[in-house]
Amino acid sequence: MIYQNMVAGTFLSRPNRFIAKVEIDGREETVHVKNTGRCRELLIPGSAVLCQRAANPSRKTRFDLICVWKGKRLVNMDSQAPNVAAGEWLASGGLGEIQNLRAETVHGDSRFDFSFTRNGRPCLLEVKGVTLEMDGMCAFPDAPTQRGAKHLQGLRRAVAEGYEAYVLFVIQMADVAYFRPHFETDPTFAAALAEASNAGVRILAYDCAVTETTMTIRNPVEVRL
């Protein structure tokens, strides 16, 4: 995934889920936050951030907040980036040879991020972006998600119908130790993830190479349920 028109700034505050105040070129700007999660450990006043200048000059907010430096670690916090990166990863052979790759597929009462055929079997894959990191441990979610648990239930049903099913946790940073569900925040999701794994849903986690203009899925990360 490649970003154009990136500029550096300093995070000041986040009045609500959708906007932040960022100093860019000595001027306070109201920027769009492309992540409705809490991100409290990332968005700390004074943190260095990277924003993308909007293509539409008449848009209400002229910039989107994309990345933040957490110490020496660059974290991509764009909630749309994991799906784009996952699509590129799948198309380039991340899961081996696949056919009929398609985004946004409805199955049952849920819409899943990708469907494809692998070794003659129909497959469904749901993507979850991960930005929460603590001393090398990454976790999802950073806020309760009923939708996330619903997706897991739908994948379990798909496995029972003969599908291969996957959850891909795209960790939007590099060099982490392991991934686990954030049961402190959402024990329901954590339990649903373990149940999905026991039912045959494949749980995958990968970190990403993140630069000031790119994010690319990189290496598998240990999953601890």
pLDDT of 36 over the 90 cut: no
Q: What percent of the chain has pLDDT over 90?
A: 92
Please work out, in degrees rounded to the nearest 5, the angle formed at the alpha carbon of residue 220 by the alpha carbons of 205 and 116.
Answer: 65
pLDDT of 132 over the 90 cut: yes
pLDDT of 187 over the 90 cut: yes
What's the confidence (pLDDT) of residue 200? 98
Q: What's the predicted TM-score (pTM) here?
A: 0.95
- DSSP string over the chain: -B--SEEEEEEEEEEETTEEEEEETTEEEEEEES--S--TTT--TT-EEEEEE-S-TTSSSSEEEEEEEETTEEEE--TTHHHHHHHHHHHTTBTBS-EEEEEEEEETTEEEEEEEEETTEEEEEEEEEE-EEETTEEEE-SS--HHHHHHHHHHHHHHHTT-EEEEEEEESSSS--EEEE-TTT-HHHHHHHHHHHHTTPEEEEEEEEE-SSBEEEEEE-EE--
Q: What is the mean pLDDT of residues 165-193?
A: 97
pLDDT of 79 over the 90 cut: yes
What's the confidence (pLDDT) of residue 57? 79
d(C-alpha 128, C-alpha 71), whole Å: 24
Q: Domains of the chain (ranges plus CATH)?
A: 6-76 (2.40.50.580), 81-223 (3.40.1350.60)
Whether residue 210 contacts residue 74, with contact meaning beta carbons closer than 8 Å, is answered with yes
